[in-house]
Amino acid sequence: MVQKNAVRELEDVVVKFVGDSGDGMQLTGTLFSDVAALAGNDLATFPDFPAEIRAPHNTIAGVSGFQMHMGKRKIYTPGDMCDVLVAMNPASLKANMKWVKPGATLVIDTSTFDEKAIEKAGYTLSPLEDGSLDGYQVIKAPVTDLIKEALSDLDIDKRLAERTKNMFVLGILFYLFERDLELPLNFIGNKFKDKKKVVEANQTALKAGYNFGETTETIRVTFRVDPAPLEKGLYRNITGNVATAWGLLAAAERSGRTLFLGSYPITPATEILMELSKHKSLGAKVFQAEDEIAGICSAIGASFGGHMGVTTTSGPGLSLKSEALGLAVITELPLVVVNVQRAGPSTGMPTKSEQSDLMQALFGRNGESPLMVMAASSPANCFYYAYLASKYAMEHMCPVILLTDGYLGFGSELLRIPDVNDLPAINPPMADPNDPKYKPYSRDEKTLVRKWAAPGVEGLRHRVGGLEKTNIDGNVSTDPLNHQLMVNIREEKIARIADYLPLLEVNGEPEGDLLVVGWGGTEGALTSAVNRMQEEGKSISHVQFNYIKPLPKNTREVLSSFKKIVVCELNNGQFVNYLRMMFPEIPYNQFNKVQGLPFHVQELTDEFTKLLEE
């Protein structure tokens, strides 16, 4: 029998916090993740919560969760199955036991397991008594009673005391993983510095939970996860939405253009708007528009005026922006559109992730309306792809749609903060007011890019608008041959961006039995699955697409070098059908998941093994 306080050293561990939507699981998970980052662990997180502001109490539909995967090695995903589950009520336990490993540790708030709550969760008998939890390390904590006792000497009301439950269980976790309490104590003190009672109550609850962990007989083993060998530098545990906002700010600084964001709040993209609104000191101008159309049109207007125009949205909002996107195409103005994808159609599942908008990004406009489409593939690299989307938009004078998703936007990982001066230069093609030969649609012979001329500058007067214009002069024209010419030029201009894109990099051998193809936010799961199978000696490689229109120039060469290809997507096959359009001579397998959830590494390895054995 393992003795109490035996220490188990782990290479990596998956922890999930689950409870009612008002139990503070997102804050609890974020604090635990921040401490793991400060301890030197690599990590990835994945919040999962209902769309309702306050879902029905003690029901499966109302369960809110926060999963984090930390380790002493490189972490690519928030993990498949949990090593530790913190469950604050019967419904959260019921909803999440299917994600728990055999023999895992369960931290359960037993004070919520009354007859009514057990019945609402769908149990016929209490799981604490029916033997279903045998084989797990179960830490039973009557948190409500213990909180009352711990806070009895403080002058606080019952409601405030009950709201400190999440801090109590966080204290247990800090003991369980041998973590220092200093950071969360300081966080509480700073966050609520103007509310002395709130600070006192939460700090006391946190310490009480830690003390419970030290004294309870139910903890037979604690865990230790040593630091990961990270490259030296300054790191930040950052969500994809915040990283996107920072990438846009960096691009504005490097380009010398003022950032203007025109956006309407929409889940799961709103945090980009919120983050940029904090940085007026960096020159950012943020306009919360009355609707999606006003948001994009204001950004186009800002771009016309010489600013770096940006708008952010999710799938339903992108639909509303489609007409104005065509305006940005025909006027050939730079514009960055960040689409944080969610499950659809219509309003769908606002807080769930899906790669559902690729076809909309590629083709969802009237007329021949080409633009650049890119996709970020991790919460941290949202920074870099937001930066690069801005670079391509400005240097090639075109709209760029950057696809992220809820999984990336809400999830977090460590970002090594770069020096802005080390980022690629951004050189917008600004028109020279002293150029006597200036014409609004005269073009660079290599890129077909026209000059960017701000209004009100002497010598740079020109006409813009949604009507077709003549090449070079930019006068309104309905001439059929001119329209054919301009359609071809706009398409070719986007195609020529491929000359400036990095080539596809293959994870593994450049040829072999099976090539796994992904795009966007599936990268972490696909990389983990392929790496695992490569270690087993399987002939399998992987490529992840971040540039979708245009595709990297070596795409056909890479795809043609493998016996089998499987394209993995969180949709019904949008990218694989795009590849079939572009390279119809190549046969493709596909593996699709449309559940509002990311891929699990195990389901991927099962599928890849089956394809290799066929």
For the domain that residue 568 is a member of, what is the CATH number? Answer: 3.40.50.920
Domain identity same for 199 and 324: no
213 and 267 in a common domain: no
Residue 47 lies in a domain: yes
Q: How many CB atoms lie within 10 A of CB 516?
A: 29
Q: How many CB atoms lie within 10 A of CB 134?
A: 7
With respect to residue 57, please indicate whether it lies within any of the assigned structural domains.
yes
Rounded CA-CA distance 582/167 in Å is 53
On whether both 254 and 337 belong to a single domain, the answer is yes
Average confidence score pLDDT of the chain = 95
pLDDT computed for residue 51 by the predictor: 79
Where the chain has pLDDT below 70, the residues are: 1-5
User: Is residue 47 reached through a cis peptide bond, with omega within 30 degrees of 0 on the bond before it?
Assistant: no
284 and 169 inside one domain: no
Q: Are 331 and 300 in contact (CB under 8 A)?
A: yes
Paired tokens of 562:
């493998």
SS3 224: strand
Q: What letter does residue 354 receive in the DSSP assignment?
A: -
Residues 261, 213: one domain?
Answer: no
481 part of a folded domain: no
Do 210 and 291 fall into the same domain?
no
- Fill in the amino acid letter for 544: Q
Q: Is the omega angle on the peptide bond into residue 584 within 30 degrees of 0, that is, cis?
A: no
Residue 106, CB-side half-sphere exposure with 13 Å CA sphere:
28
Round to whole Å and give the CA distance between 256 and 421. Answer: 13
Do residue 145 and residue 191 come from a single domain?
Answer: yes
268, 241 contact by CB (below 8 A): yes
Last residue of a domain, one of 204, 224, 244: 224
Instruction: Please report where in the chains the tokens 């990099």 appear, as a residue.
Output: 505
pLDDT at 577: 98
Question: Is-contact 583 553, C-beta < 8 A?
Answer: no
Which residues on adjacent β-strands are paired with residue 211? none
CATH number of the domain at 19, please.
3.40.920.10
Domain limits for position 67? 6-224
Q: 155 with 71, same domain?
A: yes
Residue 447 forms part of a structural domain: no
Q: Which CATH number do you get for residue 397?
A: 3.40.50.970
Q: How high is the pLDDT of residue 6? A: 87
